[in-house]
Amino acid sequence: MGKATGFMEYDRKETYCDEPEVRIENFNEFHYGLPLEEQSVQGARCMSCGVPFCQAGVMIAGMASGCPLHNLIPETNDLVYKKNWEQAYYRLCKTHSFPEFTSRVCPALCEAACTCGLNTAAVATKDNERAIIDYAYEHGLVKEEEPKVRTGKTIAIVGSGPSGLAAAQLLNRRGHKVTVYERSDRPGGLLRYGIPNMKLDKRSIDRRVELMKDAGVEFKCSVNVGKDIKAEELVKNYDRVILCCGASNPRDINAPGRDAKGIYFAVDFLKEVSKKLMDNDYDSKEIIGAKDYSFGSLEGKKVIVIGGGDTGNDCVGTSIRLKAADVKQIEMMPPAPPCRAESNPWPEWPKVLKTDYGQEEAIYKFGSDPRIYKTTVTEFLKDSKGNLKGVKTVELERKLDKETGRVTMSPVKGTEKELKADIVLIAAGFLGSEEYVTKQFKVDVDGRSNVKTEAGMYETGRDKVFTAGDMHRGQSLVVWAIHEGREAARAVDESLMGYSNL
């Protein structure tokens, strides 16, 4: 696959990227693909290794190694090298529902497991994937066609995030009649409202949804299942129901002063900004200067983000674009090492320090990395009117509990500090599915409030009700959600038809 000696002849080259001083002035995507001639060279770097770990999608030491979708990566890279873009698209879509999403937001599990990456830079598989799908759209290759034969079976999918969309796509292709319910005003779930536009332009979601509508998938938005429509109604009126509601219950910070005005969950903050951008026809100037957010204007304000993950980074980048005067990001854990530790060998996921786009922008804007490691908030400070004015923090250190053998992060006496803040954004992760949905559908949940199924299965304990995505496996990546949606579609199809060709 690829050119036999390509990995020795060519260096890795990634997509072009706007510099921070340019990109913080708008909410546009800021990565640009290489010319196809240059991208085909990147396909040549695929080294025809005997065992393609890149497509394995297995768990090693509790972490995913390789693509969970089992994309046929060496074959696709070979077609990129040969400049056969049309066949590369058809090959990729044998296993993938939405390359336009993952090629923009996936952390590239495939590249972390690339054999070439053991001794040099990994093959640029993610950028190859983006070049393929962008070419396919530009040349009219991406289609969803109405099935010529319908089975007469009906399916309701609750939630239109990546798992719900993937399940809907495959089940509709199979000939079942699919209706997708979404409580927000537009389809997409956290693809639309949890990921900022500069990472994933929402028009790419609209483009895919329109194709699915044309093929017969029905979307019912602004319908909150469990409130606007009862669970029993769906179970009664449809042959099968798939719950794809996501892990949408945000983790709170229960510290004194939590009732101060000026504290928001990250997911609500990001949703409000994304919605305003779409409502204003993607005019960045209109939303950057807006003062009618629920949090007011960020211009001239000090923002503290609690949480060090992708969502926290997105809050940093979004706050900078909204002209915040200062942004800090508080993380409980210590920084990862700059290089792989001996205890973290290839092909495990590399637990190394990453400086993401939001942190890069903060360094440019404010002169230093916004992250404050090994620290937690112990109190929210408010003024006489109840407005947030700052936070109290304390440093943490690792301690081994000799009785349980568990390592915990414990406060260090004498390290207390106060930081000024006008706005706090809580990006501390999610606790799982929301109770009003699981209770109405009478499905069992585990200790993390994820919907229970047998291991590796998607059918719940409730007859006719299935589940997929973050609601099933817990907060995870878009690529895992797509995998879950596709697998749930297969399980539903088999339960309806006695077999499945999905």
Q: In the chain, what are the domains?
A: 6-138 (1.10.1060.10), 154-249+431-497 (3.50.50.60), 263-426 (3.50.50.60)
Mean pLDDT of the chain: 96
Long-range contacts of 223-231 (CB under 8 A, 24+ apart): 223/181, 223/182, 223/183, 224/183, 225/158, 225/181, 225/183, 225/437, 225/440, 226/436, 226/437, 226/440, 226/441, 227/436, 228/183, 229/181, 230/440, 231/437, 231/440, 231/441, 231/442
The rounded distance, in Å, linking the Cα atoms of 84 and 37 is: 11
**pLDDT higher than threshold 90 for residue 307:** yes
Residue 203 has a pLDDT of: 98
Which range among 103-117, 141-155, 190-204, 398-412 shows the weakest confidence by mean pLDDT? 398-412
Give the mean pLDDT of 102-126: 95
**pLDDT higher than threshold 90 for residue 329:** yes
Bridging pattern class, strands 407-411 and 388-400: antiparallel
Give the mean pLDDT of 276-303: 95
Which is nearest to 129 in space by CA: 173, 53, 75, 48? Answer: 75
% of the chain at pLDDT higher than 90: 94
Cis peptide bond upstream of 347, omega within 30: yes
**pLDDT higher than threshold 90 for residue 400:** no
pLDDT confidence band for 1 (50 / 70 / 90):
low
Residue 48 has a pLDDT of: 81
> Do 192 and 153 contact (CB within 8 A), yes or no?
no
Give the mean pLDDT of 39-66: 93
Give the mean pLDDT of 451-456: 95
DSSP state of 37: H
DSSP state of 60: E
Segment 188-200, tens digit of pLDDT:
999 999 999 999 9
Phi, psi angles (nearest 5°) of residue 20:
-50, -40
The rounded distance, in Å, linking the Cα atoms of 63 and 349 is: 6
Residue 289 has a pLDDT of: 87
The structure tokens listed for 379 are: 């109190």
Looking up tokens 């929210």, which residue turns up? Answer: 380
Contacts of residue 261, Cβ cutoff 8 Å, sequence gap at least 6: 382, 385, 386, 387, 388
Segment 212-242, tens digit of pLDDT:
999 999 999 999 999 999 999 999 999 999 9
Residue 146 has a pLDDT of: 95
Segment 333-354, tens digit of pLDDT:
999 999 999 999 999 999 999 9
pLDDT confidence band for 71 (50 / 70 / 90):
very high
Segment 25-42, tens digit of pLDDT:
999 999 999 999 999 999
Q: What is the pTM of this model?
A: 0.96
> Do 489 and 466 contact (CB within 8 A), yes or no?
no
The rounded distance, in Å, linking the Cα atoms of 381 and 255 is: 10
Give the mean pLDDT of 390-414: 91
Residue 499 has a pLDDT of: 97
pLDDT confidence band for 407 (50 / 70 / 90):
confident
